[in-house]
Amino acid sequence: MYAIEKDVKAALGKKSRQIITFGRLCEEFRTWAEPQKSFERHKKYLIEAIKNEFGHLPVCEFPPLLLDQYKARKQSEGKSPATVNRYLSLVHVMFTKAAEWGFADEEISKRVHKIKLLKGEAKRTRFLLEPEADKLLAVCPAHLKPIVAIAIHTGMRKSEILSLTWGQVDTKNGYITLHETKNSEGRQVPINQTVRKTLKSIPRHIMNPHIFFYMGEELKDIKRSFATACDSAGIKDFTFHDLRHTFASWLVMRGVDLRTVMELLGHKSLKMVLRYAHLAPDHKSKAVQILDRKPRKVGKGG
């Protein structure tokens, strides 16, 4: 046990008033976070891990030093910067909510936020080349193939695809409407002929508006079947989310500008799509060629 943690416990013994612990904050935060789409995927596990670490400590007297020590320990255990930053970011958000809910003063929240995230976090940009994509689609089982095809050609997230209903699809005008996305905002996703043909090939369920089924049941997850398909195609170190990177990478390699790619992915800033800039190495060269053109002469009248 760290010396500072012993000091906190000793201070707690002297206080008679009720103190809200970090464990209580975790429970309240869990309830608040449950409706979020990222909760089941990873957030609930992070909350539990953090609760086990700091649950006994009082929120109002949380020592930021412990978070710094926790960060260092996770690094020494071989955790990647991305993994460590997920823990730190979650603690930051929890203390923001703690201040909002009156569990702690703004000052303690500010001190916790001063514990910086690790630098050097690599942004994953794994994507498929076209022959790899063809090989993957060829080995996908019938229920998985249209999902993979739509992911490659729209850049939609897995949760967005699996929750699709026929009412969201407008093949005539060429778009899919997403009512709620990761950014908690709706957007329209344009579709091409490949997606049109894929959707038309899927039989409709008489009693259910959802598009994707397996053995008569709505598809909730495809993790196992997707991993099996990747193994069969000889594709290593690849996740379903990487199909979204594939979509973006193919667009950039075909000359689509980053702002358009940003809008198609549903991002709010260019920062998230700058990782694809290197795939268009000649875009700067093409830009300066404009200066080789002689400026158009303007007439005397204006």
Q: Give the pLDDT band of residue 278 (cuts 50, 70, 90).
A: confident
Q: Determine the structural domain holding residue 97 and report its residue range.
A: 3-113
The pLDDT value given to residue 275? 81
Q: Give the pLDDT band of residue 44 (cuts 50, 70, 90).
A: confident
Q: If you write DSSP's letter for every residue of 204-237 in order, what string do you get?
A: PPSS--BS-EETTEE----HHHHHHHHHHHT--S
Question: CA 269 → CA 95, 261, 265, 284, distances in Å?
Answer: 26, 11, 11, 20
Q: What is the pLDDT of residues 111-158, one digit of tens each?
A: 999 998 887 655 667 899 999 999 999 999 999 999 999 999 999 999
Q: What is the pTM of this model?
A: 0.61
Of 160, 183, 187, 161, the residue nearest 175 (C-alpha): 187
Largest CA distance in the chain: 87
Do 172 and 94 belong together in one domain?
no
Do 240 and 153 belong together in one domain?
yes
Residues with Cβ within 8 Å of 204's Cβ and at least 6 positions away in sequence, in order, are 166
For the ranges 110-114, 180-184, 224-228, 269-273, which has the lowest average pLDDT?
180-184
In a domain? residue 171? yes
Do 163 and 273 belong together in one domain?
yes
Do 109 and 138 belong together in one domain?
no
In a domain? residue 301? no
In a domain? residue 121? no
The CATH number covering residue 179 comes to 1.10.443.10
Q: What percent of the chain has pLDDT over 70?
A: 83
- Rounded to whole angstroms, the Cα distance separating 198 from 191 reads 11
Do 84 and 179 belong together in one domain?
no
Do 24 and 135 belong together in one domain?
no
Q: Considering its fold, how many domains does the chain have in total?
A: 2
In a domain? residue 272? yes
Do 136 and 197 belong together in one domain?
yes
Task: Give me the residues paired with residue 58 across strands.
Answer: 21
What DSSP designation does 79 have? -
In a domain? residue 77? yes
In a domain? residue 119? no
The CATH number covering residue 55 comes to 1.10.150.130
Highest mean pLDDT of the ranges 100-104, 144-148, 286-290, 296-300 = 144-148
In this prediction, residues 260-282 reach a mean pLDDT of: 83
Do 41 and 160 belong together in one domain?
no
Do 93 and 161 belong together in one domain?
no
Give the residue from 81, 113, 145 where a domain finishes.
Answer: 113
The pLDDT value given to residue 5? 47
Residues with Cβ within 8 Å of 214's Cβ and at least 6 positions away in sequence, in order, are 143
Task: Give me the residues paired with residue 189 across strands.
Answer: 176
Residue 14 scores a pLDDT above 50: no
In a domain? residue 221? yes
The pLDDT value given to residue 120? 63
Do 168 and 259 belong together in one domain?
yes
Q: What is the pLDDT of residues 214-254, one digit of tens each?
A: 887 888 889 999 999 999 999 998 999 999 999 999 999 88
- Phi first, then psi: what are they for 210, rounded to 5°? -70, 155
Do 78 and 134 belong together in one domain?
no
Q: How far apart are the first and last CA of the chain?
A: 79
- Rounded to whole angstroms, the Cα distance separating 207 from 188 reads 26
- Phi first, then psi: what are they for 207, rounded to 5°? -105, 0
In a domain? residue 250? yes
Amino acid of residue 294? K
SS3 content of the chain, % helix, strand, coil (to 5): 55, 5, 35
The pLDDT value given to residue 296? 65
Give the chain's mean pLDDT: 85
The pLDDT value given to residue 211? 94
- Rounded to whole angstroms, the Cα distance separating 118 from 97 reads 22
Residue 15 scores a pLDDT above 50: no
The pLDDT value given to residue 2? 46
More confident residue, 180 or 121: 180
Instruction: Say if CB 95 and CB 113 are below 8 A apart.
Output: yes
Residues with Cβ within 8 Å of 107's Cβ and at least 6 positions away in sequence, in order, are none
The pLDDT value given to residue 39? 76
Residue 6 scores a pLDDT above 60: no
Long-range contacts of 7-16 (CB under 8 A, 24+ apart): 8/57, 8/58, 8/61, 8/63, 9/56, 11/61, 12/58, 12/61
More confident residue, 28 or 283: 28
